[in-house]
Amino acid sequence: MDQPIPAVTADHVAQFQQTGFLVLPGVLSADECEHLKRTVQADLDPLVGPAEYEADVGYPGSPSDRQAEGGTTPRRLLHAYARNDDLRALALHPVLGPWLSALLASPSPMLSQCHHNCVMTKHPGYSSATLWHQDIRYWSFDRPELISAWFALGQEAAVNGALQVIPESHVQEIDRGRLDSALFLRPELAENQPMIERAEAVNLKPGDLLLFHCRLFHAAGQNQSEQVKLSPVFTYHAADNQPIPGTRSERLPSIPLVGPE
């Protein structure tokens, strides 16, 4: 990494605590982005599993099943940390140590191998839209205090399904009745409208890093461009914030995140 690690300030921490997300521009160089894209493409064609397919999730716009047209379109490449040295190094990127230590108020952040730990692949034509949700909905830890790191390897905007977020939603208490059976926010309810109207798109340039809280409501549209969008995503927790025994959150051991010397 040629770029200096940006310093974390109290203002950054306060901003994250208030809004639930933060963008660090230019964490990866253009050469690093291109190298990682080649690495990911090598696992996409031919496809190297494990992978989740668009047809598996049943989200709006996804193929009805794996036998349908576009049914073998991958949605994400799983177990990114264990796939190769490039993705392993990205998951332990030097910028993450000091920033996650500050934002999690923990000297020892840990990478979860059980959640995210993937490359999101949004393909033209068969990509689905993801409705408003919180990632913590299916995660089980002592405290709902985890942070995800989303690396943009290319331009991310509305046209190719960039992430949208609802600022400050990570601190809101949402009654169960405002969510549907899959724990997505119900857009038809009048009480959810003011919240959804505050949403904003997170436009990212190649190399940008988005950090966001596990309770932040977010969504994403379909990819209307002609290029596949590739976004490696990893999730981190404090060492003293343990997964609940017997849940999927403890299936694989967490990895210590070693910061710069």
pLDDT tens digits, 17-35: 999 999 999 999 999 999 9
For residue 10, give the H/E element and its range.
helix 10-19
For residues 212 and 21, is the Cβ–Cβ distance under 8 A?
Answer: yes
Is residue 252 pLDDT above 70, yes or no? yes
Alpha carbon distances (Å) from 193 to 31, 133, 231: 42, 14, 29
- Cα separation, 152 vs 157, in Å, equals 11
Domain ranges for the chain: 10-64+72-249
pLDDT tens profile 163-222:
999 999 999 999 999 999 999 999 999 999 999 999 999 999 999 999 999 999 999 999
Query: For domain 10-64+72-249, is the CATH number 2.60.120.620?
Result: yes
Q: What percent of the chain has pLDDT over 70?
A: 98
Is residue 1 pLDDT above 80, yes or no? no
Alpha carbon distances (Å) from 107 to 143, 178, 212: 17, 36, 19
Is residue 2 pLDDT above 90, yes or no? no
- Cis bond leading into 167, ω under 30°? no
Query: What pLDDT, on the 0 to 100 scale, is given for residue 3?
Result: 64
Structure tokens of 140?
């089980």
Radius of gyration of the chain (CA): 18
